[in-house]
Amino acid sequence: MRALLLSVLLLLIAGCSPPARFNATELSGIDWGRDFALTDHNGTPRRLADFKGRTVLMFFGYTQCPDVCPTTMSSMRELMAKLGADAERVQVLFVTVDPERDTPQLLAQYVPAFHPSFLGLYGDAAATAATAGEFKIFYRKQPGKTPSAYTVDHTAGSYVFDPRGRLRLYVRHGETPERVTQDIKRLLAGE
C-alpha cells in the first residue's frame, strides 16, 4: 500500500513540474566551469570574459581524434549554418586535451577548417590539466603501436555559456544540430 501511495505521489509531483526549457542538460547555478586561461591558435591569450556578449560553445578534444571530435565539430558547423545571422553572436571554442601534439600551427589548420570563426585553444600540460579540472573534463592517453601513435580518451560533450558568460548547458555528444540550435536561440533571446 505504501509503495502504491508513493508511486501516486511521485506521479503527481512529476505532473506539476514545469517542462524543461532546454533540450540540453541545464547547469545554471553550478559553482565550477567559471573561467580558463589558455591561448588561441593565433597566439592570443584568452579567458572566458573575452567572449562576453556572445553565446559560447566549448568542446574538449584533440586533432587526431578518429571519430568524436570531427563529428562534433561538423555538427557545430551545421549549427552555425542553421543559426543564420545569429551565428555572428556565437563563438565555438575547441580546447585541446593533447597539448603534446596539438601545436598552435596544427590547431590553426584543423579548427578553422570546420568554420572560419572557430578558435582552437591550447595550454601547456599544467594549463590543460587545470582547465580540465575546472570544467570536470576527463582525459587520458591510451598507448598506441608507437609512442607518438596514442589516442586520448576524453569527455565527449560540449558546454554552452550564455552571453553574460555564465555556464548554462551541457550538450551530450550526438545531440542533433537542430535541437542545439533551439537552445542557442533561447540563450541569445535572454532566457
Confidence at residue 167, expressed as pLDDT on a 0 to 100 scale: 95
Estimate to the nearest angstrom the gap between the alpha carbon of 98 and the chain centroid: 16
Please check whether residue 156 lies inside any domain of the structure. Answer: yes
Provide the CATH number for the domain around residue 38.
Answer: 3.40.30.10
Q: Which three cell numbers, joined as nine digits, stand for 69?
A: 571530435
In a domain, 115, yes or no: yes
Share of the chain above pLDDT 90, in %: 83
Residue 129 main-chain phi, psi, to 5 deg: -65, -40
Which pLDDT value is given to residue 21?
A: 84
Residue in the structure block whose three cell numbers are 540550435: 181
φ and ψ at 24, to 5 degrees? -80, 170
The answer as to whether 2 is a domain residue is no
Binding residues are 65, 69, 154
C-alpha cell at position 32: 565550477
Q: Which are the contacts of 25, defined by CB distance < 8 A and separation ≥ 6?
A: 169, 170, 171, 172
Q: Which alpha helices (H) appear in 84-137, and where do they start and end?
A: 104-114, 125-134
Tell me, yes or no, whether 100 lies in a domain.
yes
Query: Which parts are annotated binding residues for Cu cation?
Result: 65, 69, 154
Is residue 14 one of the residues assigned to a domain?
no
The pLDDT, as a whole number, for residue 7 is 43
Encoded amino acid at 160, one letter? V
Angle between helix 68-83 and 104-114 (nearest 10)? 50
Nearest to 56 by CA among 167, 173, 137: 167
Confidence band, pLDDT 50/70/90 cuts, at residue 95: very high
- The answer to whether residues 115 and 34 touch, using CB atoms and an 8 Å cutoff, is no
Q: What is the pLDDT of residue 20?
A: 63
Say yes or no to pLDDT of 61 above 90. yes
Would residue 43 count as lying in a domain? yes
| Block residue for cell numbers 541545464 | 26
In a domain, 91, yes or no: yes
**Looking at the 3D structure of the chain, how many domains does it have?**
1
- Which stretch of 53-62, 105-114, 138-147 has the lowest confidence by average pLDDT? 138-147
Please state the rounded mean pLDDT for residues 174-183.
93
What residue numbers bound the domain in which 25 lies? 20-188
| In a domain? residue 49 | yes
Residues in the chain: 191
